[in-house]
Amino acid sequence: KKEEQLYRPNFHFSPKKGWMNDPNGLYYKDGVYHLFFQHYPDGNKWGPMHWGHVTSKDLVKWEEQPIALYPDDLGYIFSGSAVVDKNNTSSFGDSKNNPVVAVYTYHNPNREKDGKIDVESQGIAYSLDNSKTWTKYSANPVLKNPGIRDFRDPKVFWDSKRQQWIMVLAAQDRTHFYASKNLKEWAFQSEFGKDLGGHGGVWECPDLFPLKVEGTNEEKWVLIVNINPGGPNNGSAGQYFVGDFDGKTFKIDEHFTKQLQKEKAAWLDWGKDNYASVSFDNVPQGKRVIIGWMSNWEYAQEVPTEAWRSSTTMAREVSLKKTKDGYILKNIPVAGLKNYQGKSIRKKINLKAENKLVSPSEIDLTKAVLDLNLKKMTAGTYSFSLKNSLGEEVVFGIDNKTKELFVDRSKSGKTDFGKNYSTPVTKAPLNQIYSEAKIKLVIDKTSIEIFFNDGEKVLTEIFFPNENFSELTLSTDTKGSSLNIDAHQLDIK
């Protein structure tokens, strides 16, 4: 019981009870963001999957709703997406009522037990009352299994140029693209990715969307592909590709191809705890917002909580930046987070070897946003420590000599579970030695999200200390650098 209180996040969404993994069916309508999630309400490990449901007005504060989709004769309800069918193409609605249509994977446990290949197919369901009630389509599945064992996680969007729905689907080691006029009949268009990018594990939870290249009018398409295992720091992670989409085929951009020759894969988040990130449908002002599952299949089922397990990441707005080395899919916390900033403190510190940055009496570091600006940096290590009175700590920062960001949670409290949880140290390469750097931290009771230089590199990690972390310090072997701190208390209940 005590641990339940100790480890439940203060503001990231976690289910009241039972297991969760991927966010599903993300959409916005009538002032509300809807998030469904892979849910097993009757246990704290993965099991027969349902779609749990939560809503938010601002993507920060979440309210859990009754379960939306239950398993049925066709199988468990695996990951998928939801779209607002504004033209009633599905004819599930009427002239007044736009249906919301969920497109998800059926995973059939009986066929699986029988050793069959055709275990996964795609089904749809609709809601006419803002997701309070759902009706499954009577002619499910709408996309049968073509003889591929891993065939799942449909992400659907309206391709307005071609006036058609597009589904991007994970098919083992590649993505498939399908098109439809009515969400019920789907025609295969093309496939992508067999020999491109990361292939250390199975491809899952893809997404495809257009983005303007920052500072230009050029539009590129971003294909997100989650992969498990095979992430940059073991286990589950999200990668992306940049290219063009003509309604049929995704073609990788030449500049991005060069980047892949150097880097092998481009990663959305280098931390160990951001998986299955995909985007919301129908977000106002054309914004592209993603959210992920803040855990990793390496140890998600063994983390030290009992009645519930896992949470979502902070919702993030993505943007695309072109550099001489390639494209960067930046992600930063959604703007709505600012509305919860209460008490703030500001400091400028001329750095010594050991520096106290934030003390318990100043800001409660179990719900805080910190903006840190390093100046006059030299080639050495800037090592932050988020710690408690027991001497437990999460150590993270910039090695400005080896050119790396790092997170080390080997002394962060409970670490002795699952695979690859605390070792090796999480690392993300940097391509230069910096003289200035900006770091935004979003800190909850059991997680830290590190946004380097406006989200050009991101690291997300969870932790389980035996007492809440309450203090932030910095040690460095450099001389003459300074640090500006803006620390904000978050008032979220």
Pick the closer one to ligand FRU by CB: 43 or 247: 43
User: Mind giving me the DSSP string for 436-465?
Assistant: SEEEEEEEETTEEEEEETTTTEEEEEE---
The reply to whether 225 sits near ligand FRU by the rule CB under 6 A is no
User: Mind giving me the DSSP string for 193-239?
Assistant: -TTSS--SSEEEEEEEEEEEBTTSS-EEEEEEEEEES--TTSS-EEE
The reply to whether 44 sits near ligand FRU by the rule CB under 6 A is no
In whole angstroms, what is the distance from residue 384 CA to residue 469 CA? 13
The reply to whether 49 sits near ligand FRU by the rule CB under 6 A is yes
In whole angstroms, what is the distance from residue 442 CA to residue 96 CA? 41
Specify the amino acid at residue 193.
Answer: G
Q: CA angle 145-148-152, nearest 5°?
A: 70
Task: Report in angstroms the alpha-carbon separations of 192 from 160, 178, 243, 250, 432.
Answer: 22, 12, 11, 7, 32
Size of the site for ligand FRU (CB under 6 A): 12
Pick the closer one to ligand FRU by CB: 60 or 225: 225
Retrieve residue 161's tokens: 């140029």
Q: What residues numbered 87-146 form the site for ligand FRU, per CB under 6 A?
A: 105
Q: What residues numbered 395-414 form the site for ligand FRU, per CB under 6 A?
A: none
Retrieve residue 436's tokens: 């200035």
Exactly one of 7, 19, 22, 365 binds ligand FRU (CB under 6 A); which one? 22
Token pair 């992920």 is found at: 292
Report residue 58 CA to chain centroid gap.
17
Instruction: Compute the least distance from the CB of residue 77 to ligand FRU, in Å.
Output: 9
Instruction: Compute the least distance from the CB of residue 37 to ligand FRU, in Å.
Output: 10
Instruction: Compute the least distance from the CB of residue 204 to ligand FRU, in Å.
Output: 4
Instruction: Compute the least distance from the CB of residue 175 to ligand FRU, in Å.
Output: 13
Site string for ligand FRU, 331-370 (x = CB under 6 A): ----------------------------------------
Retrieve residue 238's tokens: 């999200």
Exactly one of 35, 126, 204, 462 binds ligand FRU (CB under 6 A); which one? 204
Per the annotation, the verdict on 491 as an active-site residue is: no
The reply to whether 38 sits near ligand FRU by the rule CB under 6 A is yes
Exactly one of 75, 142, 153, 457 binds ligand FRU (CB under 6 A); which one? 153
Instruction: Compute the least distance from the CB of residue 404 to ligand FRU, in Å.
Output: 28
Pick the closer one to ligand FRU by CB: 48 or 336: 48
Task: Report in angstroms the alpha-carbon separations of 178 from 167, 222, 230, 332.
Answer: 5, 17, 26, 31
In whole angstroms, what is the distance from residue 238 CA to residue 454 CA? 19
Token pair 């027969």 is found at: 48
Q: Which residues contact 363 (CB under 8 A, 6 or more apart)?
A: 343, 345, 487, 488, 489
Instruction: Compute the least distance from the CB of residue 194 to ligand FRU, in Å.
Output: 18
Instruction: Compute the least distance from the CB of residue 444 to ligand FRU, in Å.
Output: 21
Q: With CA atoms as reference, report the closest residue to 102 among 204, 187, 189, 183.
A: 183
Q: Which residues contact 392 (CB under 8 A, 6 or more apart)?
A: 411, 412, 413, 465, 466, 467, 469
Pick the closer one to ligand FRU by CB: 45 or 479: 45
Exactly one of 60, 252, 276, 374 binds ligand FRU (CB under 6 A); which one? 276
Site string for ligand FRU, 79-98 (x = CB under 6 A): x-------------------
The reply to whether 269 sits near ligand FRU by the rule CB under 6 A is no
Pick the closer one to ligand FRU by CB: 21 or 415: 21
The reply to whether 205 sits near ligand FRU by the rule CB under 6 A is yes
Residues involved in catalysis? 22
Which residue ranges make up the site for ligand FRU (CB under 6 A)? 21-22, 38, 49, 78-79, 105, 152-153, 204-205, 276
